Structure 1
């Protein structure tokens, strides 16, 4: 049978039959990532998933490609929707107007500053946008949400996720060391700083843990307040892409993707208090599983050679962005009087 005939036969099969094998492999990759996370809690399941996908992606048979692409898109969107149940506007408002202003200012300066640093370091625009989004808001989930409205390459997305992993992991040790031993900050301030400057939620928890349980609680609330800004930022980029001619050659990018609207609906339901506690707890686990499967699928589409070509500049941008986020957030906390 010729290759063309094989492709035609494969396309003639029902969609579920073409996607099921790849989706199953993505789910298996998520399972492995979660197991590694249980053994080594400092390693985010999303980090492990994308790295595992990158490592074995080239060895997987082509018959899995349709399912892996479907899993990346579908599991990601479902995971972001479920992520909304982890947030409550009530908890956000308890921070007070001053702290809310600090969160908004930190995110805005981190995002725009990282875009400027990307131009200075010669990093491609797509990668710069992904790094700016991930480092300023919530790591991998923000990166892949932004990818839904921006014109970027899969290599840019995977590289940005890798950089979030590298520098977020480093922050687990650096933030508590600088905060408590060098700067002598109060435990609550260390928690605020971790929530403002560290990328993934799991990394935030690990970074705030040495300062105590109260610091962890504060850090998580501050971090999730940053996550709330995901929806307006993605919507804003969607508007810019449409104005810039994102429809050239086909479908225009949505102003607000449907799954981002779903994220907002889940957030409002949680804020209204109509979601039972056990459902919220289960949603947290489900979101991690779905996003890990999506990250594994994303990783399989990446080729290491393409990643290495932008390695040095990407690493420099990640370092500069991390320093920027940390410095801006610490300065903002000082203005509020937190020591």
Structure 2
């Protein structure tokens, strides 16, 4: 009797296989994030900045054909989006109401003015509108987190990774400078404690630097500054929606695999809004909200490490001095708008 051929089971590219392929790159991004956090805690350097710089030094790990490339690409997009979505657990409607309509209006005016003027300044500085939205949004809202969220809905080109890395590097450095320079400026201007909190929270780019600057003056200033900063973070979803609408209106929305357009609001923005809504309804216990905040920070650290790994330092430096002048001008504009508003409100 003839022997039948032995059938072999061929494992398809299922979830386990995909996870195995992504693991090396994700592990590298997480290790870089842990190293960046260690350096931040022991030497006082911003963790985001450390993650980006360490990532840039490991660019060879994202070369074509390396085992780490798929996981690094995954971390720079999917893990990034998870980190942004988890930020919503820190936002609540009560937090927004506590500040008052006048202060909220001033914060929103600063955000809108910074982003709109950045588009005009980009033309004067000879920069692309994508870079203007990245830098303007990161300065106006919440630094590196906003830059990564906005980058996720912009049409991609060969400069996308370079522009994102440049924006994160620049906005983190500027935020650190502001953390040191703004508290003495507050004293020189004679601002009251509430006004100082609004100024620091309304102008410094990253949350950690806002906390550092505010509490270096007094607990009252620190608490107000942190609250104002979180109001700026809550503007992330509407700004991303506005950018998404603008991109679609220009006919530049990226096509999805099925051939149609991507959803109006990306999934991570919907997650942000859902968590903010649950937190507003007091359905998220404080320990869970704290856990979400911690997970968000680690996810964003790993994501920016992956962005750094994917970015060539030589290409990033090719952005040029005009791009640096653009983001500095945006930061100065935001500070000017908030100071002018405080003067009018007083």
TM-score by length of 1: 0.92
Displacement of 1:229: 0.9
What is the aligned partner in structure 1 of residue 5 from structure 2? none
CA displacement 1:223-264 (0-9 Å, x = unmatched):
110111111111111111112112476553432101100000
Displacement of 1:38: 1.3
Gaps of 5+ in 2: 1-12
What is the aligned partner in structure 2 of residue 4 from structure 1? none
TM-score by length of 2: 0.90
Displacement of 1:209: 2.2
1:28 and 2:31 matched:
yes
What is the aligned partner in structure 1 of residue 76 from structure 2? 72
Runs of 4+ in 1 over 4 A off after TM superposition: 247-251
Rate the CA distance shift 1:165–1:251 in 2: closer, same or farther, 3 A.
farther
CA displacement 1:168-209 (0-9 Å, x = unmatched):
1110111111111x2111122111101100101001111212
What is the aligned partner in structure 2 of residue 8 from structure 1? none
1:135 and 2:142 matched:
no
User: What's the secondary structure of 2:58's corresponding residue?
Assistant: helix
Displacement of 1:40: 3.3
Displacement of 1:330: 0.8
2:275 to 266, 280, 295: 266
What is the aligned partner in structure 1 of residue 49 from structure 2? 47
What is the distance in 2 between the residues matched to 1:128 and 1:310? 12
User: What's the secondary structure of 2:38's corresponding residue?
Assistant: helix
Aligned length: 325
CA contact (8 A) 1:137 1:230 kept: yes
The within-5 A match list for 1:105-254 is 105-152=109-156, 153-180=160-187, 182-247=188-253, 252-254=261-263
CA contact (8 A) 1:29 1:53 kept: yes
User: What's the secondary structure of 2:190's corresponding residue?
Assistant: coil
Q: CA RMSD in A?
A: 1.7
What is the distance in 2 between the residues matched to 1:270 and 1:85? 6
Higher normalized helix content (fraction of residues): 1
What is the distance in 2 between the residues matched to 1:244 and 1:29? 38
User: What's the secondary structure of 2:216's corresponding residue?
Assistant: helix
Gaps of 5+ in 1: 1-10
The within-5 A match list for 1:85-96 is 85-96=89-100
User: Who wins on radius of gyration, i.e. which is larger?
Assistant: 2
What is the distance in 2 between the residues matched to 1:213 and 1:230? 26
Displacement of 1:19: 0.6
What is the distance in 2 between the residues matched to 1:329 and 1:92? 17
